[in-house]
Structure 1
Amino acid sequence: MTRYRYFTAASLDGFLADEDDSLAWLLVQDHDEDGPGSHGAFMAGIGAMVMGATTYAWIGEHLRTSGEAWDYEVPCFVFTHRDLEPLGEQVTLVQGTPAEHRAAIEEAAGARDVWMVGGGALAADFAEAGMLDDVLVSIAPVTLGSGRPLFPRRFALRLTDLGRNGGFAVATYDVVGPPTQW
């Protein structure tokens, strides 16, 4: 069965990016590529990915300034209301709710998992649709004070694994659902 997995990094105070959508704070952190929370090991189980327009636009700007090309080989569904251009052959721009695209996403993933790349609002949309199974977050030893939140709505999670990679705390949580009482 296809799992939807939100694999990301965040600051200690829960932000994915700063107020300018920059990841500069993240890109200078020391980590072991083969250690807990390894991107390569995670990607081995991924058959498709989904992302929001802001994340996609950030990647596009990074590719334009660096001269690099889109290098993801799995199908990518970008949820957007913007007029964006596909960055690669595997990119499909979609509008609507996660549930409206579930069949296409899962068909594209085959027997593998779906990587919820980001952002946090889209991850919350998937969680509210019952389409987010777990959150795998590498928590960096830095605070940002403000920016793009990891998960901008209330949701209950259950810690299932905890590791360390360099200065990162690497935590895996199952998504339990909306909080029943607070």
Structure 2
Amino acid sequence: MGRIIFDTATTINGFLADDDHSLAWLFAVDGGADPDDTLLPTGVAIMVEGSHTYEWGLREWDVVAQPGKWQEFYGDRTLFVFSSRELPVPEGADVRFLRGSVAEALPELRAAAGDGDIWVVGGGDLAGQFLDAGALDEIAISVAPVALPSGAPLMPRRVESDRLTLVEVRQVGQFARLVYRVG
């Protein structure tokens, strides 16, 4: 059984996206639009994201009209999206929608991932639900030199230090990379 990893970029004051759920701030940072390969998790079998993250990607990359762009980020991986709404799917993309709690969906996600890892792409509340379910194994954060006045928080819940063990700190271009094991 693989790990469940929340791997994301954040501002120095802890926001994943601005008030409009946009990641434009990230792509304005040198290296933000084309991240160093060492920042991307390896061994990922499936990806999981919430509806705001999914909808932002649909709009930003216009992948419904240009489905070839889907491959640039997702490749051939299955993407699971937690959403209570019907959303469009780019042609040729393997997107599966989930409703309900993360805890209820875990058996399906783990079966789809097999021995590979599960990458929780975003958002912070979804990652927090994996944490609440006791299923999150690692949090990897790339901190960008940007501050936003408000937006979507990195982890909108209280997490005490006894649950996190710092296992890696390094500089990657303009980003500070922090990796925590979740206990």
TM-score by length of structure 1 reads 0.87
Distance between the aligned counterparts of 1:6 and 1:165, measured in 2? Answer: 18
Structure 2 residue aligned with 1:161: 168
Give the drift of 1:169. 0.4
Matches within 5 A, 1:89-128: 89-128=93-132
One of 44, 50, 53 as aligned partner of 1:52: 50
CA RMSD of aligned residues (A): 1.8
Structure 2 residue aligned with 1:179: none
Seq. identity, %: 42
Matches within 5 A, 1:19-168: 19-31=19-31, 33-34=35-36, 36-37=38-39, 39=40, 42=41, 44-64=42-62, 67-69=65-67, 70-71=70-71, 72=74, 73-87=76-90, 88-156=92-160, 157-168=164-175
Letter in 2 for 1:134: E
Distance between the aligned counterparts of 1:147 and 1:80, measured in 2? Answer: 20
Q: Alpha carbons of 1:54 and 1:33: their partners in 2 closer, same or farther (altered >3 Å)? A: closer
Question: Contact 2:4 / 2:135 at 8 angstroms: preserved in 1?
Answer: yes
What are the superposed Cα offsets for residues 20-45 of structure 1, whole Å, 9 maximum, x if unpaired? 112111102123844642x2xx2x31
Q: Alpha carbons of 1:107 and 1:159: their partners in 2 closer, same or farther (altered >3 Å)? A: same
Question: How many residues matched?
Answer: 172
Letter in 2 for 1:124: G
Question: Contact 2:170 / 2:176 at 8 angstroms: preserved in 1?
Answer: yes
Give the drift of 1:150. 0.6
Give the drift of 1:60. 1.0
Letter in 1 for 2:103: A
Structure 2 residue aligned with 1:5: 5
Unaligned runs of 5+ in 1: 177-182
Q: Alpha carbons of 1:100 and 1:63: their partners in 2 closer, same or farther (altered >3 Å)? A: same
SS in 1 for 2:62: helix
Distance between the aligned counterparts of 1:117 and 1:35, measured in 2? Answer: 16
